[in-house]
Chain A
């Protein structure tokens, strides 16, 4: 096989993690997590259509400690995937590939996702009327 002179991608085990590569794989990981998270939305909608008993069950699951932890993870994943997705759409227009810009937009995505998650949960608890 005449494949000796083909470019090789760096091997994961000998490649030092950088912000850009970590955020890249995190985009994929959060995407997989969000796909699993759709199950909660499907359950919530079908339970609402089924009746009060089924709906109370899904509401008590969401309100439980496990439910809240899952929702916290999913809300951060959603905001991260949303912000980094916008970063990807900007890249698709051919902009923002300079190393300095890619790092700056990367940190902006991480900070935005964290801030949006905090705002979302503070607003959620205010909407609930306390803890």
Chain B
């Protein structure tokens, strides 16, 4: 028994286009985020309530700047992949689906670049 619709068979496009790459990227970023998130939570507990100078010292130290940059890249990549699936699942109107996915990806790139810029500015500005 085939579970494909006649229309789907006629179009012959398969189901997910580039789904495998998306699936893998979601898992790889998840794996990277396990140690990064554990490091981040412990760091945030240590710097909680820090004044501006202490925060700059934390963000600007070479190892923290590198790990923060990696965390930001992995978080926004993982996040936009996840939100894309949520939008694809629940939004039935095609133009709205595409518009929302583009907005999410654009926001992830903008916020990610802005965050990395802030980290680099602090690390190199000291």
**Chain A residues at the B interface, C-beta cutoff of 8 Å:** 1-3, 5-7, 28, 31-32, 34-35, 38-39, 41-42, 45-46, 48-49, 51-52, 55-56, 59, 63, 75, 78, 82, 85-86, 88-89, 92, 120, 123-124, 127-128
CA distance A52 to B115 in the complex (A): 17
Nearest Cβ distance between residue B106 and chain A, in whole angstroms?
A: 14
Check A46–B79 contact: CB distance below 8 A. Answer: no
Check A92–B52 contact: CB distance below 8 A. Answer: no
Check A82–B49 contact: CB distance below 8 A. Answer: no
Residues of B within 8 A of A78 (CB): 37, 41
CA distance A124 to B6 in the complex (A): 59
Residues of A within 8 A of B49 (CB): 59, 63, 127-128
Kindly identify which residue among A32, A34, A48 contacts B86, using a CB–CB cutoff of 8 Å: A32
Check B55–A48 contact: CB distance below 8 A. Answer: yes
**Which 9 A-B pairs rank lowest in CB-CB distance, beginning with the nearest?**
A49-B118, A45-B118, A52-B52, A55-B52, A35-B79, A128-B49, A49-B121, A46-B118, A123-B45
Number of interface residues of B (CB under 8 A): 37
CA distance A52 to B55 in the complex (A): 10
Interface class of chain A by DSSP: helix
Residues of B within 8 A of A46 (CB): 114-115, 118
Residues of A within 8 A of B45 (CB): 120, 123-124, 127
Residues of B within 8 A of A32 (CB): 83, 86
17 pairs, A vs B, C-beta closer than 8 Å: A5-B1, A38-B75, A38-B111, A41-B72, A42-B111, A45-B118, A45-B122, A49-B117, A49-B121, A56-B52, A82-B33, A82-B37, A88-B30, A89-B31, A120-B41, A123-B45, A127-B48
CA distance A41 to B45 in the complex (A): 14
